[in-house]
Structure 1
Amino acid sequence: MEPEAPYVSAPTQISGRTRLYAVLGDPVEQVRAPSLLNPLFARLGIDAVLIPVHVEPDGFAEVFRGLTRMKNLDGILVTIPHKAAALRLADEVSPAAAAAGAVNALRREPDGRWRGENFDGVGFVRGLTEAGHRPEGKRIVLMGAGGAGSAIAAALLAAGSAQLTLCDPDTARLGALVARLDEHWPGRARGEAAPAFELADIVVNATPLGMRADDPQPLPLRALAPLCVVADVIMKPRDTALLKAATALGHPILHGAHMLDHQIDLYRGFFRLDDPTGP
Structure 2
Amino acid sequence: MDAVHITGTTRLYAVLGDPVRQVRAPALLNPVFARLGRDAVLVPVQVRPDGLPELIRSLTAVGNLDGLLVTVPHKQACRRLADSVTDAAALSGSVNALRRRPDGGWEGANFDGEGFVRALRAAGHEPRGTTVCLAGAGGAGSAIAVSLLRAGAHLTLWDADADRASALAARLAPHFPDRITAASRHVDADLAVNATPMGLRPDDPLPFDPAALKSGTTVADIIMKPRETALLRVAAGAGLPVLYGEPMLAEQIALYQEFFQLG
Residues 205-239 of structure 1: CA deviation (Å, up to 9, x unaligned)? 01111111111111111111111000000000001
| 2:191 paired with 1:195 | no
Helix, strand or coil at the partner of 1:66: helix
Unmatched 5+ stretches in structure 1: 1-5, 275-279
Deviations 1:108-128 (CA, angstroms, capped at 9, x unpaired) = 022323110000000001101
2:46 is the counterpart of 1:54: yes
Find 2:203's aligned residue among 214, 218, 224.
214
Distance, in Å, in 2 between the alignment partners of 1:175 and 1:224 is 22
SS of the equivalent of 1:40 reads helix
Q: What number of residue pairs does the alignment pair up?
A: 263
Question: In structure 2, what is the equivalent of residue 257 of structure 1?
Answer: 246
CA offsets, 1:86-122, max 9 Å, x none?
0001111011001111000010022323110000000
Is the CA contact (8 Å cut-off) linking 2:135 and 2:193 kept in structure 1? Answer: yes
Select which of 132, 135, 141 maps to 1:149. Answer: 141
Distance between the aligned counterparts of 1:154 and 1:130, measured in 2? 19
Identical positions, percent: 59
Question: Which one-letter code corresponds to 1:174 in the other structure?
Answer: A
- Give the letter aligned to residue 238 of structure 1: R
**TM-score calculated relative to the size of structure 1:** 0.91
Q: How does 1:8-23 map onto structure 2 within 5 Å?
A: 10=4, 12=5, 14-23=6-15
4+ aligned runs moved over 4 Å, structure 1: none
The aligned counterpart of 2:55 is: 63
On the 8 A contact 1:81/1:147 being kept in 2, the answer is yes
Q: Is contact 1:9-1:39 (8 Å) kept? A: no
Q: 1:277: which partner in 2? A: none
Question: 3-state DSSP class of the match of 2:174?
Answer: helix
Question: What CA RMSD, in Å, does the superposition of the two structures yield over aligned residues?
Answer: 1.2
Quick one: distance in 2 between partners of 1:132 and 1:68?
42
Aligned equivalents of 2:160, 2:220: Cα separation in 1: 20
Q: TM-score, normalised by structure 2?
A: 0.97
Partner residue, 1:233 = 222
Asked whether the equivalents of residues 9 and 49 of structure 1 are also in contact (C-alpha less than 8 Å), the reply is no
The answer as to 2:263 corresponding to 1:245 is no
Q: Distance in 2 between matches of 1:265 and 1:194?
A: 35
> What's the counterpart of residue 213 of structure 2?
224
